[in-house]
Structures are given as C-alpha cells and as structure tokens.
Amino acid sequence: MSRRQDAGRPRVAVIGAGSWGTTFGKVLADGGANVTMWARRPETALEIHEAKRNSEYLPGINLPRAMSATHHLSEALDGADQVYIAISSQAVRQNLKAVRPLVQRTDVPIVSLMKGVERRTGLRMSQVIEQELHCDPARIAVASGPNLALEIAREQPTAAVISSISQETADAVARRARNSYFRTFVNTDVIGTEFGGVLKNLIAVAIGIVDGVGYGENTKASIITRGLVEMTDFAVAQGAQPETLQGLAGLGDLIATCQSPLSRNNTAGRLLGQGYSFQDVVKQMDQTAEGLASVAPVLQLAREVGVQMPIVEQVKRVLDGTMDPREIAPHLTTDDDEPQGERTQNGQAGGGGALWRSIQRTLDQFRHGGRRAPGDQP
C-alpha cells in the first residue's frame, strides 16, 4: 500500500487499529499529522486506507484523508516522527518484538495508549516497552484521561494527560496529540498516570456489577468515592504523586469509565452482575476489557506493598465465581465491622479540601488553555 503524504505535515505511526488506536489516529490527523495505522488484519487496513472507515470498531465514523493504513509494520513505521502503540496489554510484548528492529536506530518518542498491567509480570506498559524495545525511558510517554473512544471519534470535546519522565518528550507528544476537540496536559508522573488508567478499570467493573444486579445511584456513588481512595493508596505506595490520581488520569477517567455504557469494563461488570460467568463474559465481549486481566496482578502488587483494596478483592471473588454478585455491595467499602475514619487522600482523614483544590486546579487549567491559572502555585 502506498501512502499519500504532504511534505509539510509530520508523520506518525499508530500500531493497533482497534477502536482506541483508530480514534487516536484520527486525533493526530485532525491535529495536522500524516498518520499511518498498522492493522493486524489486511482487510481492516484496506478499509481504513481506501474507504476511510473502520466499520467494525468505529461504525459510522468518517476518518480523515490524512490517515492511511497497512498491515506491514515496516511500512507503518518508515519515517515516523512519533510512534503510538494501542495493542491489548496482554499481547503487547509479543508485538513489540517485531517493532524493535524497526525503531532501535531511531530516537523517536514511543507513546503508550494502553491501560493495563501485564498479567505474568505485573509490569506497567511503559516498563514492557522499555524492556522489549531496549530504549531510553526518556523516549517513552503515556497517554491517559477520560477518553471514551467513540465520543472522541465523534469529536466531542475532552482532555487527556501526556506523561513522561522527560518533560521534553511529554511536551513534544502533547503538541502533536491535540486539536480543536482534544486538549492535552502534561506531567512527569508516569507511575501515577499509568496506574490511574489501570485502576479505574477495576472500579468500573465493580460499578458494572452492581448496575447489573440492579442497585442504584447511592451504591455506585459510594463505590466510586471509596474506589478513588483505593486507587490513590495503591498508586502512592508504588511511587506516584497523589495529585495525579485526583486529576484527569485518575478521577476524570474514573468518572467517565464508571458512568458510560460505552465503557468495555463497565459492560463486562454489568454482564457479571446479571449472572453471566467470567468465561461467558469474555465470549460475549467483542473488544478487550483490560480490567478483567488486571485484577489479579494489581492485587498481587497491592499485597507486596501492604495496601488493602477491598473493592478490587470483591471483584476478584465475583470473577472467580466464589461470590454471588448480589452480595457484593455490603462488602465493597469495608470488611471491618469497627467504625473507620473516612480517608479521602493517601490514607489521611480530612483531605477533602486538598482533593477539591486539585480538582479546581484541573478545571482552572482547562479554562486557561493548559496553563496554570493566574496566582496558582506549582
């Protein structure tokens, strides 16, 4: 397949042509880049390339003329200024082995669009990329936030966070991955940004379970609130900054994923709540629900650092078939009958003011085009 290229437009590659990979390709193309998608299946590549459609994953969406596609990795990566990876977290290592010889002599940024941890190792996706591509971690960036693919493909406004240990890399990717409907912020807290994207999926499965059972808004609001505490405690214990979990990559993504029927993890949980077995849910899902694969490795990591995650523990019991979904709600917030203080930030009582201030800062930054609001302190 030949690619139509405009000399004045930067060239980027997106590895993976599912709903999120294709949507992000559209974001990049609408932001001024020539985008080449790599699709595993030749028929998907042909449809994107010729018809400017991906009818299986984004029905009804017209893709930009600046998007092309191929099922040959070498063609997708040839001359790319940035490389974006959107593959299932459990399959990424195998695919990266083929990518390595094609990028090892370059210094282009490698951007993870994935939200999962590797089941066998418990590694975050940026760590798997670093291992398999043998590249400087300063070249690696991750993208996260309240980003439901179909809404973005319909050009409904949203925001995301680009994170890298290198401020230069984060800035370069953020400048490329933005347009009139997609705004990007930056930080250097890769751990918090990645774990926010992972952990919200687990809480979304819990929300789906209680929704499928038929419980109401009080139950769901309690789970979301306490779920944010679990997410923050876990991520901080792994080395994250608490503010990251209270921003777009944590709280923002949590709200979007828990409330939307477009969320695959919410849908998977709802099927579990309706009485389907884990195996039946996997068969019914036509796209990957990353949260299902991440429950066990996250709980293992939590035990290693001594963090309690009662919501995620109960989700695992439902997945394992050892708990009736109807019994999950009384257990989700605590297994301890003794009264407990309401921890709202890093296991500390009385942190609500700090949480609200972080939310307010995020809103102020969005109003001021990604810059700190006047008078806001770093």
Catalytic residues: 200
Helix/strand number for the chain, H first, E second: 17, 10
SS (H, E, C) 16-44: CCCHHHHHHHHHHHHCCCEEEEECCCHHH
Given a contact cutoff of 8 angstroms between Cβ atoms, the answer to whether 309 and 323 are in contact is: no
CA 355 to chain centre: 22
Determine how many CB atoms are found less than 10 A away from the CB of residue 90. Answer: 17
Query: 367-376 b/e with 16+ CB inside 10 Å = b?
Result: eeeeeeeeee
Classify burial at 120, counting beta carbons within 10 Å of its beta carbon; exposed 0-12, middle 13-18, buried 19 or more.
Answer: exposed
